[in-house]
Structure 1
Amino acid sequence: MRRSRFVSSVQTAEAAKPSLWEALWFDLRSPETSDDVALSEWRIGGLDHVAFLLGVTHLLVAITSAVLSPSLSYAQSLDNPLIPSVLVVVLDVMAASALLTRDRFNLAPHTIVRCLCLYIALVGLAWTWFGHAVADDRYVTAIAAGPIALCAGIAMGAIVSINSPPLAVVNAIVSAIAAIMLASSPLVPIGVEIIALVLVCYSVANASGFIATGRKRLSLEAHARKAQHFVDEFENSGRGWFWETDSLGTLSYVSRQLADDFQCEPEELLGRKFTDLLSVDKGTDALEEGKTLGFHLSARFPFSDVVVRPASDEDVHWSLSGNPVFDERGRFLGFRGIGTDLTEQRKSEREITRLARFDSLTGLPNRAMMRQTLEEALRNAAHRQKGCAMFLIDLDRFKNVNDTLGHPIGDALLRQVSERLKSVMGNHGQVGRLGGDEFQAVLPGTVDIGLLESLARTLIEQVSRPYMIEGHKVTIGASVGVAIGDPGRACADALVRNADLALYAAKAAGRGKHCFYESSMHSEAAERQLLENDLRQAIERGELSVHYQPIVRTAGEEISGFEALVRWQHPTRGAISPAKFIPLAEEAGLIGSIGEWVLTTALQEAAHWPDHVRIAVNLSPLQFNDPGVTQMVSRHLTETGVRAERLELEITEGVFLAEGDTTDETFAKLKQIGVRLSLDDFGTGYSSLGYLKKAPFDKIKIDQSFVRGASSSTNRNAAIIRAIVTLAETLGMDTCAEGVETHDDLQLIRELGVSMVQGYIFGRPSESETARSLANTVTVEADGYQCIREPRQRLMRRAVAIIDGDRTDLKLRNISSMGALAECDTPVMPGAELTIDIVGVGPVRGVVRWAHTGQFGVQFGERFDLGRLAPKKRNTNDVTMLRPWYVDQREAG
C-alpha cells in the first residue's frame, strides 16, 4: 500500500516534467505555482557566484594586458583599454552587491535572472570593446592581448551561464559578436557559435533535469509533510502512538504519549529493550495460543492487537500491532508498529457493566439488579424455608421539588435520600432505586412483623427530616408498601405487584404511612382505576359542580364571602366525597384542569354578587407551582370582570415543602395582580410560623381540628386559637375559624377575637342559586346545637358493679367516651364512686352524677375508647400475611 502510494507520487511528478521551451525560459517567467516559486529560489541560489567569477576574470585579464603592454599609447581616448576595464569591474561590483542584498530588497528570482542577462550582455560588449582596443595597438605584445581577452571572456561566460539557459543564450550572442569583431579568421566565429550552441543545449537539458527532479522532490516532501501531519494528529489525539525498534530489539523511535506514561522524555527510552518495558497481559487470547510478545519480536513475525501492560504498578493496558522491516537485500532492520491505549476503553467497559447493574445517580442497585436480588432471595427462601419481605418506597411531594427548584436540586435530594435509606436498612436488606422517586428494599429471611413495622416507621421518619441543598430547605415524605412472600410459594412478579398495591393503600391513607399487603387491595385497585377513568370524563359530562359555603364576619354576622367547593355527582355511584377524588385527581394529573374549571365557574358566579362579597378558591400545590398560574388567574379575572381584590386564593402549606426563589416569585406576582392570599389548614403542617414570616398572606384559616370542641375544658384548643389570633393581629392578617357547628364554640370564637367564621352553624355548601340569595342578605342567623354531643354507642352492654357491698348486674346504654346510662334495680346515691366491669371489655371507674328509680348516669374517670366495644373479628389474611405458616412451624419445632 505504501509502495503504491510512493509510485503514484513519482508518476505524478514525472507527468509534470517541463518541455524544452519551458526549460529554456523557466528562469525568466514569473512562477505560477508554489512549487515553481520554490524551484526558482533553488535555481537562483546557483547563480550567486556569477558576478564574483566574472569579476575575478576581468580583473586578471586587465592586469595581464597592462603587464604585457606597459608602454602602450593611444591616439584617441576611446581606444584606451582602461576605460572598458574600469567599466567592467564597476558592473561586476554592482552585480555582486545586488546578488548579496537581494533578500533584503525581496527581489523575485525571475527579476534577478533578467538583470543578470542584462549584466552578461553589458559585460560581454564592454569586454569586446576592451579586446578591440588592445588588438589595435602597434606593438606585438599588445596584439596578443586581444585573443587572450576573447578566450577568457568566452570561457568564463560559459562557466557562469551554464546553470541558466537564458544566461547561456545571452552569452552565446555576446560570444558571437566578440568573435566576429576580434577574430582575424572567419572560422573562429563559426567555431565559437558551435561551442555556444552546444553550451545552450547542455544548459537547457541541465535545467530540464533540475526542474523535473525538483518537482519530484517537492511532491515527495508534500506527501511527507502530509504524512507527518497525520502522524502528529494521531499521536496528539491520544488514540494511539507509534514505536520502532532496530534489529537488536532496542527502541529507535517512540511517541511522546508512550514516554508520558513512563513519566520521562522520549529520548530516555531510546536504546532500551522494548520487551523490558512491557509484559503480556495474562488474560488475553495471545497467551492462550502461546504467542507472546517476546515470541513475535524474536521470530520477526507480524502481530496484531496483542494486549500488554507497562512494567509499572499503573493499571494501564495497551494493544500493540507491529510488522518487521527488511531492506532490499532482505536484511532485518527492526520492527515498526502502532500502539493503542485500552485503559479508558476498559474503564468504559467496566462502567457500562456497572451502569447495567447500578443506578448512575445514587449508586444504588437499579431495577434489573433489584429484580435479580429479589429472585435470588426467593430461591434462597425456598431452600432455607425462610420467608422474604419487600418494601416499595415512594417519595411524597418529590415532584413538587423538581418543579419548583429544578432537576439538579431533585437529583441532589435523591442522593441524600439514598444515603438515609441505606443507613436505616443496614444489614437487614438491600436498597435499590427503581427510577424517578421510587425505591425498593429486599429483606431476605425477614418476616418478623414487629421488625418490619419498626423499619418502615424509622424509614419514613428519617426520609421526612428536612434537607439542606444549596441553601434551600427541602421537606418531603415517604410512603411504604410492604409485602411478605412465603418460601417456595411467592414469585417475584406477584410480590412486586402486592407491594405496589400496599404502597398505594399507604398513599391513599394520607401519605407518610406504611401498609402491609392484603388480598382485598386487588379489588380496591381495580375500583380506583375505574374511578379514575370516570373522573377524566366528569367535566365533559357535567358531573362536577361547584357549591358555595358562606364565610361570615364574627362581629356582625354579615356575609363576607363564599368558599367555592367542588362536588362530584356520579351517575351510578352517587355523590363521591372530595376527600376521595381530589387526591385521585392529583395523582392522575387532572387537578390542574379541574382547578381551573372551578376558578372559572366561581368567578362567573361571583360576578352576579354584590361587589363587596368575596369568592375564595382553593389552589392546590401543583397549580401553585405551575409557572403559568399567574397568567391563568389574571386571564380569568379579565374575562369575568371580577375585581382582583374580591378573589381570595386559599393555599395550603404544601407549597412550602420545597422552598426556593420560584415560590417567592409566584407569591409576588399574585400580589401584583391584587388578589388576596389565605393560608388554609393553618397549624396542621410542618413549620407554619416560618411561612408566615415571609409569605404575603392576608388571612389565616384556623383548621377545624382546633375549632370543634374548643369550648370543652378537656382540651387546649382555646389556648391554641388565642395564640393564632394574637399572631395574626400582630402581622396584620385576618383570621377565619373553620368547622364551627355549635353555639358554644361560636361564642368562644367571638371572645377570642377571630375575624370570620365558616361552618355548618351558618350554612352548609349549597348551589349557586342559594349562594346568590345569601349574598344579597344583610346578616345570617346562626343555627345549630348548643354544644357538641359525644358519639354514643346505643347498643346495650351487660356489666357488673359492687353496690353497697353486693354484686349487682347492670345494663349500660348510650355509652360515650365521657359516660353512660346505667339501668339497675338497686338504688344508687349521686356522688358514689363505682367500678363497673363491662362484660367482654373490662373494668372502668366512674362517678354517679344523677340517679332516678331504676336508672342513674355515670361519668367515667377518664376518656373511654369506644373502639373497645367493637366486636373482635378474626382476619383470615393475618394468618398468612403477618404470621406465615412456616413461622408457627419453626416455633413448634
Structure 2
Amino acid sequence: MDLSNMPSFTSIEVDRLSALLDLDILDTPAEREFDDITRLAATALGVASAAVSLIDEKRQWFKSRHGIPFPETPRDISFCTHAVASRDILVVPDATRDDRFSENPLVTQEGGIRFYAGIPLIISSGYCLGTLCVFDPIVRDGLTEAQEAVLQDLARLTTDLIETRRFRKMGEIAARVADTTSDAVLATDRDGTIVYWNPAAERMFGYARGEAIDQNVEIVIPPRLAKGHREIFARAAAGGATRLVGTTVELVGGRADGSEFPIELSLARWGAGPPDGGFAAIIRDITARKALEREREQAQAFLDTVVTNLPAMLFVKDAQTREYVLVNRAGENAIGRPAKEIVGQTDRDLFPDHGDGYEERDSEAIASPSATMFESEFVRDDGQSVHLRTTRTLIDGPDRPGQYVLGISENVTETRLAEAEVLRLANFDALTGLLNRASFTDRLHGLVRKAEPFALLSIDLDRFKAVNDQFGHPAGDAVLAQVSDRLRAAVQSQDWVARIGGDEFVAVLTGTRLRERADEVASAILTSMSEPFTTGRVLAHLGASIGIVLLPEDGRTTGQLRENADLALYRAKQMGKGKACFFDAEMDAAAQDRRMLETELREVIENDGIDLAYQPVLSAKTGQITSAEALARWTHPDRGPIRPDIFISLAEECGLIDRLGEQLLRRACRDAQGWPDHVRVAVNLSPLQFLSGKLIEIVQQALDESGIRADRVQLEVTEGLVIRDVEGTFRQLEQLRTLGIQVLIDDFGVGYSSLSYFQRFPFDKVKIDKSFVDEIGTSRAAKAIVEAVVGLGAALYMGVVAEGIETEEQRHLLVASGCTHLQGYLFSRPVTANTLGKMLMTQGNLEAMASKAA
C-alpha cells in the first residue's frame, strides 16, 4: 500500500492507514483466534455471516470471515467504511430501505445483505482499523442490548488480539535479533540482578549464560569502578535522573579474566517503573573502533604535521564561496599573514588588485577534468614580490562532490630571479648593462621580420684604443660604462642601445619621425661623446662617428641594413671625427659596388674560385697538430683579399651558400685525405645549409669522392644554428653523427641559448669565442666564462678549443684553465694546403710552433 499518493484523504485518514500498515496484518494467513471470534459472533447473534473487516486505501479485507465466500470487497461499497468514519456502532435493519446502501451491489445481488451491524476496532493508539461486523440476508429489527454487549465484548477481544499479535511478533523479532547480534544484550531487575544474557554477552564478557543469570550486573564492571557504578545504579533504580538512561555513552567494561576493554552502552528502562521492572542494556565492544580512532588521530596528526611543514604552499578553498578553509605554514610565509587572517577570507579580500584573476584560475580548475597549473606574482603586505607556480584540482568533501579547490603552490621567486639574472647576463653586456650583440641581433631580426620602420645608428668610438693602451683596461672599462650612460640618456624609452663590440655600439629608434629623430639623437650622442670622461685620475677625450640607416628605405634584410650602416659609418669617418652620416644609395657608390661584388661572387663560385686556407689546431697536452680549420679565402683581382664575413654573408643573402658550402667541403675532404690519418679537417657550416634538405647527401658524397674516413671530418656550427628549425636541425645533426662525423659548436658564449643545445645533442667539441680569449688576462668575467666552459666540456666529455690565441699569456692561462686544444696566430696563421702538408711532415711541439709563428 503506497501512502504517498493519496491526495483525496485527510491527514487523519493517512495516519490511520499508516497505523494499519505498521501492524503488518493485511493479507496474512487465517489465524484460529480470529476465526473463533467471527464464528462465535455469528452464532451468538444468530446471523448467517460475520467478519473481522480491515479498511485500507482501496478495499475492505477480511482478516477472518464466517459465511462469506469472498476475501475482500472494494472500499467504496463497504458498510464498514461508514462505521470506521463514525467511530461508533453502525446498525442497518434493512439495507434496501437505507438510502446509503439500497443501490449497493452487496445489497442488490441475489441473497444480498439486508441486516448489518458493525462495531469499530479502535486500538490503544486511538486509530480505528476496521470493524467486527455481522450481516444477514433477512431483515431484522436491530440488536438487543444483550446482543450489542456481546458484539462490543467480541470487538474488544479482537482489538486485543490484533495488538497482542503485534507484540508477539515484535518479541519474536527482538529475541532473534538478541540471539544473533554481535552486541551484548542483557537485562536486570531493579536491584541489578541479571535476568537476561544473550550469546554475544557470553562471548564478550567470558561468562556463560548460566553463570551470569541471577548475578549482579557488577560482574561486567571493573572492580575499580564498582563503587561509582553502585551509586549511579541505585539512583536510577529509585527513579532518579542519570545520564546513562536513554542515551549512548562510552564506558569501561570488565571481563571474567579481569581484563578491561572499552564499551559503548545504551541503557533503557523496562516495565512500569519503580518498584517494578528494571533495565535493559545493549553493549558494544569498541576496542577495534578505538584502535581505529587512535590510528586515525595519529594519521591525522601526521598528516597535519606533513601539511604544516610542507615546503610548498598548500591551501584549500571552498569551491562555492572561494573562502580559504586551510593554509599551511609555507602559505603563511608566502602570503605574509598568519593563517588566522587568511582562513575565511577570499582572494578578493586578501589581494584587492589581483583577487579577481586568482578566482578566475579557481573557476578554470573547477571546470577542468584534470589538474591545472598557473604561475602568478603578487606583492605581500611587506612589499616583497612573490612568484608562485600553483597546481589546482577539485576534490570531494564530506557534504558534496567537488566541495573544495586544493592548491599546491611552489614559491619560485628565487628561481625566477635567477632566471632573470641568467637572462640579463645572456642578453645584456656585463660591463655596460646594455643589450649585447646576440640580443641586438635577435631584436633586429624581429623588427625586420615584422617590417616595422626603424632607424639604426651604428656608433663607433674615436680614440678609445688609446685609453686602453695608455691607462689600462680597468680605466677603459670605466669609460665604457660612462659611455653607455650617455647613450641611454640620448634615446627615448621605446628605443634601445646595444654594445656589439669593444668600442662599437648601436642604437635603434622606433616610432614616428624617424629621420628627424635619428638626426636629433645622433647630434645628442656626438655632443655627449665630445665631453671629457673622468674616472679616478684619468681624464679621457673621446669622440664618436655614426652611420645611420632606415628601414625600409635603406634595406629590407638585417644583412643589408648592417652593411649599409657600416658604409654610412665609414663615410662618416671619412668626413672626419665626430660626424654622423645617413646612408644614401644615390650619393654613395657602395651599394652599387655591393651589387657588382655579388655578380663577381657568383662568377667566382661558378668557376670554383674560392680558395681554402688552413689554420692548425694543436693539442694543449702534446703540442702536436690534431686538426686544421678550413677557412674560405677570396682574393679579388682588383680589390685584393675580401673579408670572409663579407662574402660569406653575401653568399647567404644571394642564395649561393649551398653551392659554395658544397665546393668548400669537397675540397677540404680532398686536401685532408693526403694528411696523416690522425689529423682531422674542420669545415664551417652556415645555418642556411641546414634548410636545403640536401646537407646529409652532400656530406656523404664528399666522403665518398675523397675517400676520407668520416671520423676525420669535423663540421663546425654556430650558436644561432637552430633558431629557424629546432627539430629539423637537431635531426640532421644526429644523422651527421650517425655517419661518423664530429660536430663542434663554434663561437660559444656569444649567443643566449647555447646551454639548452647540450641537452638536445652531444657535441664533440666546443670552441671558446675569441672575444673571451682576448680579455682572459684582463677581465675576471672573461676568465670565469672560460673556466665555466672548460668545466662544462669536462662534465659532458667534450673537447674545448680556444681560438684566437695571440700571446703567450693567453696560451698559459688557457692551458692552466684546462682547454684541450689551442688555435691562433701565436702558433700559425692560416696557410695553404701545401704549406700545411709540409708542416705536418716536420711538426714539432707547441713551443716550436709558437716560436715559428713569432
Ranked by relative contact order (alpha carbons within 8 Å, sequence separation 6 or more), the top structure is 1
What is the TM-score normalised by the length of structure 1?
Answer: 0.34
What is the TM-score normalised by the length of structure 2?
Answer: 0.35
